């Protein structure tokens, strides 16, 4: 996905909030957006997610399914958690059975099972934020956009956010996340964009040390979890090789369990500098 010469202002003669933004993010990449409050981080994320349209320029290559989590979840809606999430699953294109399964999975994983029959306006800020994250993940997103996702969350859920990010990236999705709390330390392999004075710049990659390649054999059922954990530790996944069946020789001569090829923990190579899946409105 690319932002190509994007400019944005909120009124015709108002100041430019974004000027000449030209950045890209590819499949499997995570980008942390940094900058002081009020410099346009949220505006940039909303443009990327498709919530805002640029005044000038364009966004290309936006994945079809976008998960969008605003900094403040709009909880002033007359629905229970279960009703809201089920309806948002249907909006995302899931059939009733799949929507119900997704709601069960994410309410359980995010500690929302006890709140399913609670109305959204009665939730605390942190619990409402969990609902926002759940609705963004009901259908696996090709692009996940998180605006200050750690705000108001309990410690257990703050630890869960990097896991979710790594799982999306491991499945080939892209992730954009803003941070002004210093939580970037939880995402060691992420690229960094900085917003200042309406412009977006990318931090230069640090010099890389000599690399070694390690191939690790893991049980087939644990491949996805292993990939997510290695990404979380800052390693780059070079490839995942899955034989058709254990014990059957693949075309490259490999047999036995799948292998995951990684290099040591180093920042990813920098790349040159486009939502409806996670909507902020409620079901109608």
Express each pLDDT in 54-106 by its tens digit. 999 999 999 999 999 998 888 888 999 999 999 999 999 999 999 999 999 99
| H helix or E strand, kind and range, residue 59 | strand 56-60
**pLDDT score recorded for residue 220:** 83
- Rounded to whole angstroms, how far apart are CA atoms 103 and 81? 10
- How far is C-alpha 84 from the chain's CA centre? 21
**pLDDT score recorded for residue 248:** 44
pTM: 0.72
**Contact of 8 with 54, CB cutoff 8 Å:** yes
**pLDDT score recorded for residue 184:** 72
- Rounded to whole angstroms, how far apart are CA atoms 150 and 202? 22
Residue 151 has phi, psi (to 5 degrees) of -60, 125
**pLDDT score recorded for residue 238:** 67
Geometric angle at alpha carbon 15, from 9 and 21, rounded to 5°: 55
Spatial neighbors of 267 by CB under 8 A, at least 6 apart, are 188, 189, 191, 205, 206, 208, 234
**pLDDT score recorded for residue 278:** 45
- Rounded to whole angstroms, how far apart are CA atoms 78 and 81? 10
**pLDDT score recorded for residue 232:** 61
**pLDDT score recorded for residue 87:** 95
Look at residue 50 and give its three-state secondary structure.
coil
The low-confidence residues of the chain, meaning pLDDT below 70, are 181, 205-212, 231-236, 238, 243-284
């Amino acid at each position: 996905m690319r932002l190509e010469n994007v400019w944005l202002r909120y009124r015709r003669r108002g100041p430019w909030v974004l000027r000449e933004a030209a950045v890209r993010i590819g499949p499997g990449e995570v980008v942390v957006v940094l900058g002081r409050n009020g410099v346009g981080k949220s505006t940039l994320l909303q443009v990327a997610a498709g919530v805002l349209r640029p005044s000038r320029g364009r966004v290309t290559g936006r994945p079809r399914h976008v998960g969008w989590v605003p900094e403040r979840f709009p909880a002033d809606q007359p629905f229970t958690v279960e009703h809201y999430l089920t309806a948002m699953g249907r909006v995302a294109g899931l059939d009733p059975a799949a929507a119900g399964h997704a709601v069960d999975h994410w309410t359980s994983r995010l500690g929302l099972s006890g709140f399913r029959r609670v109305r959204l306006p009665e939730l605390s800020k942190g619990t409402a934020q969990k609902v926002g994250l759940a609705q963004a993940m009901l259908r696996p997103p090709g692009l996940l956009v998180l605006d200050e996702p750690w705000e108001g969350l309990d410690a257990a859920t703050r630890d869960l956010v990097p896991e979710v990010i790594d799982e999306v990236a491991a499945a080939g999705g892209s992730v954009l996340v803003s941070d002004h709390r210093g939580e970037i330390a939880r995402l060691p392999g992420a690229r960094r964009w900085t917003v200042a004075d309406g412009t977006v710049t990318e931090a230069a990659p640090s010099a890389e040390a000599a690399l070694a390649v390690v191939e690790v054999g893991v049980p087939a059922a644990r491949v996805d979890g292993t990939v997510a954990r290695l990404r979380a530790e800052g390693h780059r996944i070079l490839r995942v090789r899955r034989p058709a069946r254990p014990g059957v020789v693949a075309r490259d001569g490999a047999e036995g369990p799948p292998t995951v090829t990684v290099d040591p923990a180093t920042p990813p190579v920098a790349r040159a500098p486009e939502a409806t899946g996670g909507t902020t409105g409620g079901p109608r």
